[in-house]
Structure 1
Amino acid sequence: MDCNTCTSRKMMKASIDIGTNTVLLLVAERRYRSLHVLEEQQRIPRLGRGVDKNKNLSKEAMNRVIHVLEEYKKLLAQQYPSILIPIVVATSAVRDANNRSAFLEKVKAEIGLTVQLLSGREEAEYTFKGAQSMLPKQYSTKPLLALDIGGGSTEMALGKGHEILDRYSFDMGCVRFTERFLGEPKATADQVGDCQEAVQKMLATYSFDITEETELVGVSGTVTSLAYMDQELEEYRNDKIDGYGLTLQTINQYIEWISDMSSDELLHRYPVVMEGRADIYLAGLLILKGIMDRYGFNIITASTGGIQHGAIIEAS
């Protein structure tokens, strides 16, 4: 075996991100300051359904996640046997649940995996590193504000190069704010207004000190799905998503359009990116608009990186 093959195997890692809405698997090789993605999988068990109201993870939701973890563990054993133990992290829904210890113990007992429960600040840091890892090289030295609109929380991290200058986690997300403010099958104008007001109140609790040179970068489903939709792609391709810019005007147009659609109509129009997301997507766009309005950003750049990418970088 040549030296390059040895090095590649040593640097190949897997991570699993247990989020409020999704459970994501990533297999990648660390290549200096970036990642070479070998495998990505997404499942949408919505672990955080009802957590904002009930403060507990439901038995049904926990079992759905256990099933996904079993599937991922089998995939890794069959296709990447050199990866003995994946990095597993959990975020907002588990962090907020009173029965989080029971869930973490269940994963350990039934799947044999130890889950690292990230704090909001750690989640923001992983978001920044993950976002940066998948962007073109010129973004490695620019001042960036990285944004991750999740199901239960929204993380923002300000940094330049490999130095993170500030970071914060807001208790607002697509699932949480949909359950609080937006009705089905589609939201009313008053509900949209209430959600937008709540976003601004939440953002007022913490402020970032940004400069004119700072660029806004967005990861996760709200931003990457919109990049897919705006390009009218037929298949989801990372090379088309990474570095794609979305203007505030474009985002406002999609908000107006999607506000008049039911979640079923949105899913029918964009099944590739709206499966498991259509009913919470408007809330994500409203949070995105609120952040851009507050800080005066006219454009956001999409990155397919995320917490799972940051977890691999942090462990390398």
Structure 2
Amino acid sequence: MRQYPRIAAIDLGSNSFHMLIAKATTRGYRIITRHRQKVRLADGLTPSLTLNDAAIERGIGCLKDFAQLLNDYQPLQVRCVATATLRKAHNRQHILKRFERVLGATIDIISGTTEAGLIYQGATLDLARPESAMLVLDIGGASTEVIAGIGTEPHVLKSLDMGCVVWQNRFFADGAISARRFADAIDSAKRLIQPLAKTYQAHGWQTVCGASGTFRALQDCLRHYGSGTMSAEFIDYCKNESIKHGHVEQLHQLGIRDDRMAVFCGGLAILVALTESLDIRAVDLAQGALREGLVHTMLAERKRSLA
């Protein structure tokens, strides 16, 4: 009987660390287990772009758990990538050595373009029709990826220097929510998006999907309010409801989970800027993201090596 290998994909994001362990199959792969921990790495990035000890220790604590899971599941191949916060951190080499020692695996700091391509692959594997024009959005902790493509092939890939943790700390640091703060956060995001708007609109899209925690939080809001579509109007409604409640500690009244409330407004402000700048009418929730893209890439490489 043929044995199919287990593989592990690990994403060290600026807000959360993710691990996905999957088993290769004749038709692709089957997910065995998923794990996610809120590490909030971007919270520890100082103005001088040095990652502080507290954030490093949070990362190490998570990676100890991941190392135990790798030991339990014994995957044949492990791929671990780090994104925006470690791209920016001046002390990244010191951090990498400590992280790799704990995890027991090599960690690659990938470029924003590479990150965007992997996100697109993961987000469109199940959603895309072969000729469907897609726009994929991923609002991470310290960067936002905007990718346009056809089917599963990305054509326009950008990683923007803004994210839910960074924006939360910049505009809603004390937890207070106001119309003025939202306006400032949205305007700042638009300044980064608008120079690219014509390029994306020229490419066009039939479907927009969101592949990060901001969109999962909005999906929770949809369930709470009994609405069915993550429309631009609903996104704006959530912004106004957040302002009405006035503080992040009250966001549970929108149906948002406790572990998401602390960065929700930062991500929502970026999403409002995206919908208004790109004239997005509605967003679907993607079923995959960066780690699914990693698994897909690993399996494709394995298939080529065995051919």
What TM-score do you get using the length of structure 2 for normalisation? Answer: 0.88
Confirm or deny: 8 A CA contact 1:196 1:287 kept in the other structure.
Answer: yes
2:290 partner letter: I
Confirm or deny: 8 A CA contact 1:218 1:301 kept in the other structure.
Answer: yes
In structure 1, distance between residues paired with 2:116 and 2:224: 30
Confirm or deny: 8 A CA contact 1:27 1:37 kept in the other structure.
Answer: yes
For 2:186, the equivalent position in structure 1 comes to 196
Alpha-carbon shift at residue 69 of structure 1 (Å): 1.0
Alpha-carbon shift at residue 267 of structure 1 (Å): 4.5
Trace 1:216-295 onto structure 2 (pairs within 5 A). Answer: 216-232=208-224, 245-261=229-245, 262-267=247-252, 270=255, 273-275=257-259, 277-295=260-278
In structure 1, distance between residues paired with 2:158 and 2:204: 20
In structure 2, distance between residues paired with 1:35 and 1:167: 26
1:65 partner letter: G
Confirm or deny: 8 A CA contact 1:148 1:155 kept in the other structure.
Answer: yes
1:14 partner letter: A
Q: Does 1:48 pair with 2:32?
A: no
Confirm or deny: 8 A CA contact 2:84 2:142 kept in the other structure.
Answer: yes
In structure 2, distance between residues paired with 1:122 and 1:289: 25
Trace 1:35-74 onto structure 2 (pairs within 5 A). Answer: 35-51=29-45, 53-74=47-68
For 1:120, the equivalent position in structure 2 comes to 112
In structure 1, distance between residues paired with 2:233 and 2:25: 36
Confirm or deny: 8 A CA contact 1:18 1:24 kept in the other structure.
Answer: yes
Trace 1:27-106 onto structure 2 (pairs within 5 A). Answer: 27-30=21-24, 35-51=29-45, 53-78=47-72, 80-81=73-74, 83-106=75-98
- 1:145-204 CA distance string (max 9 Å, x none): 111000100001111123221100000110111122224232222111111110110112
In structure 2, distance between residues paired with 1:216 and 1:278: 24
Q: Calculate the aligned-residue CA RMSD, in Å.
A: 2.2
Q: Does 1:143 pair with 2:137?
A: no
Q: Does 1:167 pair with 2:157?
A: yes
- 1:276-307 CA distance string (max 9 Å, x none): x3121011111112111111111111013111
Among all aligned residue pairs of Structure 1 and Structure 2, give the percentage whose two residues are the same amino acid.
Answer: 25
Alpha-carbon shift at residue 216 of structure 1 (Å): 1.0
In structure 2, distance between residues paired with 1:311 and 1:73: 18
In structure 2, distance between residues paired with 1:32 and 1:132: 20
In structure 1, distance between residues paired with 2:119 and 2:270: 17
Cα distance change, pair 194–204 in 1 and its aligned pair in 2 (3 A): same
List gaps (5 residues or longer) in structure 1: 234-243
For 2:291, the equivalent position in structure 1 comes to 308
For 1:25, the equivalent position in structure 2 comes to 19
What TM-score do you get using the length of structure 1 for normalisation? Answer: 0.86
Alpha-carbon shift at residue 253 of structure 1 (Å): 0.8
Alpha-carbon shift at residue 19 of structure 1 (Å): 0.8
Confirm or deny: 8 A CA contact 2:86 2:92 kept in the other structure.
Answer: yes
List gaps (5 residues or longer) in structure 2: 300-307
In structure 2, distance between residues paired with 1:260 and 1:114: 46
Confirm or deny: 8 A CA contact 1:224 1:304 kept in the other structure.
Answer: no
Alpha-carbon shift at residue 95 of structure 1 (Å): 0.5
